[in-house]
């Protein structure tokens, strides 16, 4: 069984999709053991509590450097014997220390079809604003492995979502979540967890 940590910063809708998928037996090779938040006020922490999952808060502002922050995250993950990490709306960029500790074991969901609208500065609503501004007809979501380049790791899964007339960034964000993110993330979690279970 692959022990999973989910890293969050906000509402935790993707975390909820993972919790629901696990309950429904869709992640048979993985178990969410820890929810780690970068923000003590993240609603995702309440979702973790409701699901009976242990949680921790590691806030960037409590550390003098990126390296110290990364080390603190690794320490918490190691203390919980975590095998793989899922970034589900985690707004802090992870540094080399974390990435080296979990090579090819960190996955992230990005709300566009990479390589479009990705990289530094593209997160949350900004991604959907950029897609609408550009006038693309199709957007979607991508789950990828995390490396040192923001949104630059190997792509695991992608799903397209059509843009409709009159979409606002908020409406589009919701559709991408419902039609792509909440479906892809549990699938990718199982993909990687199954692979790691085989390696053990």
Contacts with 165 (C-beta within 8 Å, 6 or more apart), sequence order:
none
Report whether 89 contacts 12 (CB < 8 A). yes
Q: Please say if 110 is a catalytic residue.
A: yes
* Helical ranges in the chain per DSSP H: 13-23, 44-50, 66-79, 96-101, 125-134, 169-176, 182-199
Catalytic residue among 29, 110, 128, 144: 110
Closest by CA to 22, choosing from 195, 165, 186, is 186
Q: What is the 3-state secondary structure (H, E, C) of 80-104?
A: CCCCEEEECCCCCCCCHHHHHHCCC
Round to whole Å and give the CA distance between 69 and 67: 5
- β-strand pairing of 2-8 with 138-145: unpaired
Furthest-apart CA pair in the chain: how many Å?
A: 50
Q: Write out the catalytic residue numbers.
A: 110
């Amino acid at each position: 069984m692959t022990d999973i940590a989910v890293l969050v910063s906000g509402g935790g809708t993707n975390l909820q999709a993972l919790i629901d998928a696990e309950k429904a037996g869709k992640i048979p090779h993985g178990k969410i053991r820890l929810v780690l938040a970068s923000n003590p006020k993240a609603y995702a922490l309440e979702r973790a509590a409701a699901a009976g999952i242990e949680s921790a808060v590691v806030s960037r502002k409590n550390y003098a450097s990126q390296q110290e922050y990364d080390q603190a995250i690794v320490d918490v993950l190691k203390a919980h014997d975590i095998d793989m990490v899922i970034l589900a709306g985690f707004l802090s960029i992870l540094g080399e220390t974390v990435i080296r500790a979990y090579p090819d074991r960190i996955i992230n969901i990005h709300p566009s079809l990479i390589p479009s609208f990705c990289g530094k500065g593209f997160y949350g609503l900004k991604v959907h604003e950029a897609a609408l501004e550009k006038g693309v007809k199709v957007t979607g979501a991508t789950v990828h492995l995390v490396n040192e380049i923001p949104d630059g790791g190997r792509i695991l899964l992608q799903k397209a979502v059509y843009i409709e007339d009159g979409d606002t960034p908020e409406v589009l964000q919701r559709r991408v979540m419902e039609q792509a993110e909440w479906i892809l993330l549990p699938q990718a979690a199982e993909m990687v967890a199954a692979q790691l279970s085989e390696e053990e």
